[in-house]
Amino acid sequence: DAERLEDEIRRMDGASYGRYRSLGGDWDFGGFTLTVERVQADPFAPPSRLLVRIPADTAGLPGHAWLDPVRRRATADHLARRARRVLKGTRSRIDAGGQQVIDRSSCQIREGGIHLRLGVELPGHGRRVDARGAVRELCGTVPDLVDAVVWEALDAAEATAFADVVEDAVALRARLAGLGLVAFVADGAVLPRASGVSDLPMRGAVPFASPESLRVTVSLPHRGEVTGMGIPEGVTLIVGGGFHGKSTLLHALERGVYEHVPGDGRELVATRSDAVKIRAEEGRRVERTDVSAFVRNLPTGADTRDFSTDNASGSTSQAANIAEAIEAGTSVLLVDEDTTATNLMVRDARMQELVHGDREPLTPFVDLVRPLRRDHGVSTVLVMGASGDYFDVADHVVMLDAYRARDVTEQARTLAAPRRDAGFPAPAHRVADPASVDDTARGRSRIKRRDMDVLTFGETDIDLRHIAQLVDPAQVVGLGLALRLLARERLLDGRRTVAEALDLLDARLDAEGVTCLGGGHPGDYAFVRRQEVAAALNRLRTLEVRD
């Protein structure tokens, strides 16, 4: 078929651009199959979409590279990165990862075969077919890519090392609960990044070193024994002067729900997979969420067990974020003073003198972290350099001093005072109206992303800027597809709670991998956790919750 494809393209040279459409379908190249899945309407439209399927006997992947689901994901991720390098300087592109290793639609391994999804800008002279250019791309670049990817797959050493690193990180995370930990930061880890806009490691950074009292040794399948700081379940406070590395540590913990590529510096930073970063998010919408643990007796008289607003304040948005994280399912909250609403975090004695309990609708988080742990099993890791109030409730206090961690729990304890215990009512489990989760716009599905900030879902835009644990643009599309699946396939059926629907989604993702989200979507997408799916659902401005 390769020659037939070349002939076909040459025959359309100079014809109107729309003739490219006749290339749609399968082309058997012998060692692989090229499927032209979608052809752009003109040279300026989004790229055409290709699927390249390399069967197992050509791919020659050794069993250890793909039989296990973790290694399969790692190998696919590695091959996508290789493919991206090969395609540099061509008209074709493949979606591949940043510093995290995430299941993505652009490269999948099936029964030992490799599936690659590419975007290609079919060349035109104005609005006419440029046959030479198209032949070069489809009959040159694509077979070259297949050669390079297959060669890489066979070049076992690098791919194996990559998968080993990923497998170790997964194993480390799996050990946390059994060790009574919410996170682990290996000695020697490099936490700071090159800059505020780069996720690459900082050069010359002070490597992480664990304080002896929190040091834990873990045995991993490939690296063997590693030591590092284990952050125990409970309430852990991270203190220290400004600029001493507190937020950097917390950011690393946020990202610790993902695996990182070799050389990243955070390969052996692992956080419980359900950990959620909490922050204030003024202006967000809230749909019938129970924020009564934090907010009571509003001057408006609103019932805060069933609280809605189109424009939340800093404190109510943060309260809703916590309630919704618990509803979606989490065992760890990650909180940084830099991005919280102060009045929800602390209230000092003098302010309590001046503004009495019945005038102040807010219960500060400091009175709720212990009940959260006791009543709901939710631990908290909190960065707080500005107030000692949290000494009263912390199980562990870690001080960062010029980027070095010290255990200062004992000193902090001598400064602690008894505190009242507020109690934390179980947040309500809501039932969403599936009709209010609609991806159609003008009769067609519309799921699009604007950078990492906005997901266009049907007729509405979802603001994702403050969902801290989204790390990859393809995840934005993944979120849209997950919402669509929830509604269209009736996981949200008007009776199940949001959490129950997310359980079903998890089961699908577990069994089928990320491509269960696809449903004919032409673009690239990547895995998203249920916590981010819930976050997107809760920010959907059309969402309606039933009684």
- Which DSSP helix (H) or strand (E) runs through 476? helix 473-488
Stretch that binds ligand ADP, among 200-208, 278-286, 365-373, 527-535 (CB under 6 A): 200-208
Asked if 166 contacts 101 with a C-beta cutoff of 8 angstroms, the reply is yes
In contact, 32 and 52? CB cutoff 8 Å: yes
Q: Sort strands 286-289 and 198-201 into parallel, antiparallel or unpaired.
A: unpaired
Q: Please count the other Cβ atoms lying within 10 Å of the Cβ belonging to residue 519.
A: 12
Which of 75, 92, 210, 247 is in the footprint of Mg ion by CB under 5 A? 247
Instruction: Quote the strand ranges of 169-293, DSSP E.
Output: 181-186, 193-195, 198-201, 215-220, 224-232, 235-239, 259-260, 269-271, 276-278, 286-289
- When CB distances are held under 5 to 8 angstroms depending on the partner's kind, the choice from ligand ADP, Mg ion, none that residue 192 binds is ligand ADP
Query: What is the C-alpha to C-alpha distance for residues 97 and 228, in angstroms, rounded to an integer?
Result: 27
Specify the residue, 156 or 202, whose C-beta has the smaller distance to ligand ADP. 202
**Residue 339, interface with ligand ADP (CB under 6 A)?**
no
CA separation for the pair 283, 280 (Å, rounded): 10
CB closer to ligand ADP, 224 vs 242:
242
Whole-angstrom Cα distance, residue 166 to residue 75? 10
In the set 97, 124, 192, 228, which binds ligand ADP (CB under 6 A)? 192
Stretch near Mg ion under the rule CB under 5 A, chosen from 64-72, 192-200, 335-343, 443-451: 335-343
CB 389, min distance to ligand ADP, A: 18
Residue 244 beta carbon to Mg ion: minimum distance, rounded to whole angstroms: 9
Half-sphere exposure of 450 (CA within 13 A, CB side): 11
- For Mg ion (CB under 5 A), the number of binding residues is 3
Could you tell me which stretch among 44-52, 90-98, 244-252, 494-502 binds ligand ADP (CB under 6 A)? 244-252
Asked if 243 interacts with ligand ADP (CB under 6 A), we say: yes
Residue 295 has what DSSP assignment? B
Write the DSSP assignment of 338-366 as a string of letters: GGS-HHHH---HHHHHHS-GGG--BPPGG
- Residue 197 C-beta: closest distance to ligand ADP, Å: 12
x-marked contacts with ligand ADP along 162-191 as a string, rule CB under 6 A: -----------------------------x
- Interacting span for Mg ion (CB under 5 A) from 8-16, 22-30, 140-148, 243-251: 243-251
Residue of 7, 28, 338, 348 that binds Mg ion (CB under 5 A)? 338
Burial grade of 297 (CB within 10 A; 0-12, 13-18, 19 or more):
middle
Q: Which residue is nearest to Mg ion (CB)?
A: 247
The first and second tokens of residue 204, run together, are 């010359």
206 is a site residue for ligand ADP (CB under 6 A): yes
Binding residues for ligand ADP restricted to 73-112, rule: CB under 6 A: none
Q: Among residue numbers 346 through 405, which ones bind ligand ADP (CB under 6 A)?
A: 403
Instruction: Name the site residues for ligand ADP (rule: CB under 6 A).
Output: 191-192, 202, 205-206, 240, 242-248, 403
Instruction: Name the site residues for Mg ion (rule: CB under 5 A).
Output: 246-247, 338
